Chains A and B, each alone.
Chain A
Amino acid sequence: MREILAMVGKDLRVLARDPMGFFFTFIFPLVFAVFFGTMFSGSGRETRGLQIALVDEDRSAESKALAAQLDTVPELSLQAMDRAQAREAVRLGKRVAYVVIPAGFGESRRRMFTGKGPELEIGLDPSRKAEGGMIQGVLARYLSEQMQTLFARPEKMQTQVRQDLAAIDTSREVPAAQRAPLHRFLGELDRFLSERQADTTTADSGRAGTGWSPVNFKTTEVARLRNGPRNAYEVSFPQGVLWAILNGAFGFAMGLVNERTRGTLVRLRMAPVSRGKILAAKAGAALLSILIVATIVLGLGAIFFGVRPGSVPLLALAVISAAAALVGIMMVISVSGTSPRGVSGLGWAVMMAMSMTGGGMIPLFAMPPWMQSRQHGEPGALGRHRARRRDLARLLSGADGATVWNSAGSRSGDVRVRDADDEVDASGVGMRVRAANAA
C-alpha cells in the first residue's frame, strides 16, 4: 500500500507541475462550467422558466399590480411589449407565449360581483399546449391569491363590496331578477366583513390577515419545468464535472504510455512493485484527481451559482461510478497502445463512440428504441439512469464522452414537454426526466 501511495503522490505532483495539464485538469472544468452557465443564463442570473411577453392594454392600477406580481413568479420570465411585438415574438419563437391584460381589466376587478369578471388573453403556438396549460395554471393561482388577499383583509374587501352594492341598480350586466338577492347577499357580506374587521383590530391583531379564505389550496407537486435544471449552471457544472472525468481518465491513459516512452516504466517494473500495484496507483491517481476536481467544481457551483444536487450521496455515487468506469476503459486502452499518438487516437475514438451512442451527442429521443435502452448500461450514461431519475439526470445530464461539445444545445430552454405522459426531455443533452405529476 505504501508503494501505491508513493506512486499516487508522485503522479499528482507531476500533474501539478505541468502547467497545461494542471489547467485542463483543475481549472478548465470550472471555467467551462461558469462560462457556459453564464452564457446560457443571459445576464448571469437564474433562468426564470417560461419566457412570456406581457401586454398591458389596461394600464390601470390593477393591471400594473398584476404585472408586478407576475414578475415575481419564478415560473415565468416576463417582458413588457405591445400586442404586435408580442405576437411577432411568439411567432418567431423568441417567447413561448404572450399574455394580454385587456382594457377594462381593472374595472372588472373592482366590480367583482356585478361585471363579467376579469379576463386575460393568452397568445400561444398551438403546438405548445402544455406550456399554455402551465401559464393558465400559474395565472389562475396568482389571481386566486389576490382574491384570497382581499378576503384576508376585510377593509379592502368591504370597500369593493360597497362599490358593487352601489352599482347593482345601474349595472347592465346584472339582470333585474338578480338585483334583490344580490343586494341581500352583499349586504350580509358587508356586515360580516365589518365584524371581521372589528375582530382583527381588537382581539387578535397579531394574526390579522389570516383566517377565512374563499378557497383552500392543497399544494401538490405538479410537473414543473423546474424538475429539470433550475438554472443554466445546473447543466454546465455537471458538464464541467464530466469534462474533469474524461480528462482525468484520458490523462491516466496517456500517463501510462508516457511512463513507457520515457523509460520510467522500466524503473517501476524493476522496483519490487507488482504490475497490479503500478496500475492501481495510476488509476488511483486519476480517480483522486477527478474526485478533487469534481468536489471543487460542484462545491463552488453550490456556493456561488445555486447548483443544488438533489441527493449528495447519489451525486457522489454517480461521480465515482462514472469516473471508475471510464478509468477502467482507459486502462485497457493505455495498455493496448504503444505510442502516445496511438493511445490518444484510440482513446478519443472510444469516447466519441460512447458519446454518440450514449446520448451525449445525439438526443435520446432521436435514437432507435434499442439504443435508448442499451445506452443506460454505459458508464457515461450512468448519471442518466432513472433511479431517483431527477437527481442523477440533473447531475450528469450531458452524459459521457463529448458532451462538452454538446453543451451548446443543452440550455434549459431547450426543454421539450410531452403532455401525454408528462415526460420532460431536455433534448439538447439527451436527458430525460419523468416528472411525477400528481394531477
Chain B
Amino acid sequence: MRRKIGVAPQALAIYEELTAEENLRFFGSLNGLEGRALGERVKWALDFVGLTPRARDRAMTYSGGMKRRLNLAVAVVHDPPLLLLDEPTVGVDPQSRNAIFENILALKREGRTVLYTTHYMEEAERLCDRVGIMDHGKLLALDTVPRLIDAHGGTTALVLERDGSETRVETSDPIAELSRLMRDGGLPRFRLEQPDLEGVFLNLTGRSLRD
C-alpha cells in the first residue's frame, strides 16, 4: 500500500549532503526499485523537475526552488498513483512555482490522484478538480470550484465610480443592474467583482485570525 503513495512534506525532506541523484536513488530503492528500473525512474524524475543538469550536485548547493522541485521528484520517483503534496510551493521563486504547477498538472493528466494541501486559494483554483475546505480539523465543504463558489461565494459586486468615489452594489444579476443604470441617466465607470475561492474560504471559516 505504501508503495502506491508518494509524499512531499512541507519541510524539505531531502538529504542536503547527498546529490539529487543520490537522494532519488535512495528513496527509490526504499520503495522497492532496483537495478535498471531504478536508474530509469531516477532519470525520469530528474527530467520531470528539470534538475538533470544539476543531478550530481549536492542538494545543499541548490536554491530554495530547486530543493522544492527535488522534494517533489522524490515523491514521484517510485511512480505512485497517489500523491500527497503538502504546500509544495512554500517559499519558492515564481519560476520554480510555475514549474511545480506544470509538474502537478502533468501528473494529473497522467491520471494520478493528487491530494494537494495549500493556503493559497489561487493554487487550488488552478490545480484542483475538487476542493475541500478544512478548518480546525473539520471538513467544512467539498466540491468543484464553481459549485463551491455558487454555494458559498456570495453575490457578485458591481463597483461604480462617480466623481472620484466608489459605490459598491451587490447583485445576483449584474446585467440587469447595469441596464437599469443606463436607463436612469448614464453608465458610470464600473468594474465587476465576482466571488472566488478565497471568498468561499473566508465565508466558511470566518474572518477572525487563526493561531
Residues of chain A whose beta carbon lies under 8 Å from any beta carbon of chain B = 2-3, 6-7, 10, 13-14, 17-18, 262-264, 266-268, 270-273
Question: Do the beta carbons of A264 and B18 come within 8 Å of each other?
Answer: no
Partner of A17, one of B5, B17, B26: B17
Q: Is the beta-carbon distance between B29 and A6 smaller than 8 angstroms? A: yes
Contact with A along B3-14 (1 / 0, CB 8 A): 101010111111
B53 close to chain A: CB less than 8 A:
no
CA A292 – CA B2 in complex, angstroms? 35
**Does B190 interact with chain A (Cβ within 8 Å)?**
no
Cβ of B129 within 8 Å of any chain A Cβ, yes or no, is no
A266 touches B32 (CB 8 A): no
Q: When the two chains form their complex, are residues B29 and A267 in contact, meaning their CB atoms are under 8 A apart? A: no
What's the Cα separation between A265 and B16 when bound, in Å?
14
Q: Is the CB of B3 within 8 A of A13?
A: no
Q: Is the CB of B27 within 8 A of A18?
A: no
Q: Which residues of A contact B26 (CB under 8 A)?
A: 6-7, 10
**Which residues does chain B contribute within 8 Å of A3, judged by CB atoms?**
29-30
Question: Could you say which residues of chain B place their CB within 8 Å of the CB of A10?
Answer: 15, 18, 22, 26
Alpha-carbon distance between A232 and B34 when the two chains are bound, in angstroms = 50
Interface centre among B5, B30, B34 (most CB of A within 10 A): B30
State whether the Cβ of B117 lies closer than 8 Å to any Cβ in chain A.
no
Q: B31–A272 contact, CB under 8 A? A: yes
Looking at the complex, which one of B1, B9, B22, B30 makes contact with A266 (CB distance below 8 Å)? B9
Q: Which of B7, B11, B26 has the most CB of A within 10 A?
A: B26
Distance (whole angstroms) from the CB of A310 to the closest CB of chain B? 40
Which one of B27, B32, B34, B58 contacts A267 once the chains associate, using CB atoms below 8 Å?
Answer: B27
Given A263-B11, A266-B13, A271-B2, also A14-B18 (CB < 8 A): yes
B74 at the interface (CB under 8 A from A): yes
Which of the residues A6, A17, A266, A268 comes within 8 Å of B18, measured between beta carbons?
Answer: A17
B contact face: mostly helix, strand, loop, or mixed: loop
Give chain B nearest CB distance to A143 CB in angstroms: 66
Closest to A18 in B: B17
| 12 pairs, A vs B, C-beta closer than 8 Å | A3-B29, A6-B30, A7-B26, A10-B15, A17-B58, A263-B12, A266-B11, A267-B13, A267-B27, A271-B31, A272-B2, A272-B31
Interface residues in B169-186 by Cβ distance below 8 A to A read none
Which of A2, A264, A268 has the most chain B CB atoms inside 10 A of its CB? Answer: A264
A18 to B60, CA, bound (A): 11
Nearest residue (CB) in B for A6 is: B29
Given contacts A13-B22, A272-B2, contact A2 B29 (CB under 8 A): yes
Smallest beta-carbon distance A276→chain B, Å: 14
Contact check, A266 vs B7: say whether CB atoms are below 8 A apart. Answer: yes
Closest 7 CB pairs between A and B?
Answer: A263-B11, A17-B17, A263-B13, A271-B30, A272-B2, A6-B29, A14-B17
How many inter-chain contacts with C-beta < 8 Å in the A-B complex?
Answer: 58
The docked-state distance in angstroms from the alpha carbon of A13 to that of B11 is: 22
Which residues on B are within 8 Å of A, measured CB to CB? 1-3, 5, 7, 9-15, 17-18, 22, 26-27, 29-32, 34, 58, 74
Give A15's nearest chain B residue, CB to CB: B17
CA distance A104 to B74 in the complex (A): 90
- Chain A residues whose CB sits within 8 angstroms of the CB of B14 once the complex forms: 264
Contact (Cβ within 8 A) A14 B15: yes
Instruction: Check B11–A262 contact: CB distance below 8 A.
Output: yes
Q: Is the CB of A267 within 8 A of B17?
A: no
Cβ contact within 8 Å between B7 and A270: yes
Residues of B within 8 A of A271 (CB): 2, 27, 30-31
* Nearest Cβ on chain B to A8's Cβ, whole angstroms: 11
**Would you call A262 and B12 a contact (CB within 8 A)?**
yes
Given contacts A262-B12, A263-B13, contact A268 B30 (CB under 8 A): yes
| Most chain B beta-carbon neighbours within 10 Å: one of A17, A18, A268 | A17
Q: How far is the CA of A270 from the CA of B7 in the complex (A)?
A: 7
Cα distance A268–B5 in the bound complex, in angstroms: 12
A21, closest chain B residue (CB): B17
| Chain B residues within an 8 Å CB radius of A14 | 15, 17-18
Instruction: Tell me the minimal C-beta distance from A277 to chain B in angstroms.
Output: 10
Hey, which chain A residues are within 8 Å of B12, CB to CB? Answer: 262-263
How far does the alpha carbon of A264 sit from the alpha carbon of B18 in the complex, in Å? 13
Are A264 and B29 CB-contacts (below 8 A) given A13-B18, A17-B58, A271-B2? no
Supposing A6-B29, A7-B30, A272-B2 touch, asked if A263 and B9 sit within 8 A by C-beta, the answer is yes
CB distance from A26 to the nearest CB of B (A): 15
* Minimum CB–CB distance for A251 against chain B, Å: 14
CB distance from B26 to the nearest CB of A (A): 5
Q: Quick one: given A3-B30, A18-B17, are A267 and B11 in contact (CB under 8 Å)?
A: no
Q: Are B17 and A13 in contact (CB under 8 A)?
A: yes
Q: Which residues of A contact B30 (CB under 8 A)?
A: 3, 6-7, 268, 271-273
CA distance A10 to B11 in the complex (A): 20
In whole angstroms, what is the CA distance A90 to B53 when docked? 73
Known A2-B29, A270-B5; further 13 A-B contacts with Cβ < 8 A? A6-B29, A10-B18, A10-B22, A13-B18, A17-B17, A262-B12, A263-B9, A263-B11, A267-B9, A267-B13, A271-B30, A272-B2, A272-B32
CA distance A354 to B18 in the complex (A): 35
Cβ contacts under 8 Å, A264 to chain B: 13-15
Residues of A within 8 A of B31 (CB): 271-272
A14 (CB) vs chain B CBs: closest residue: B17
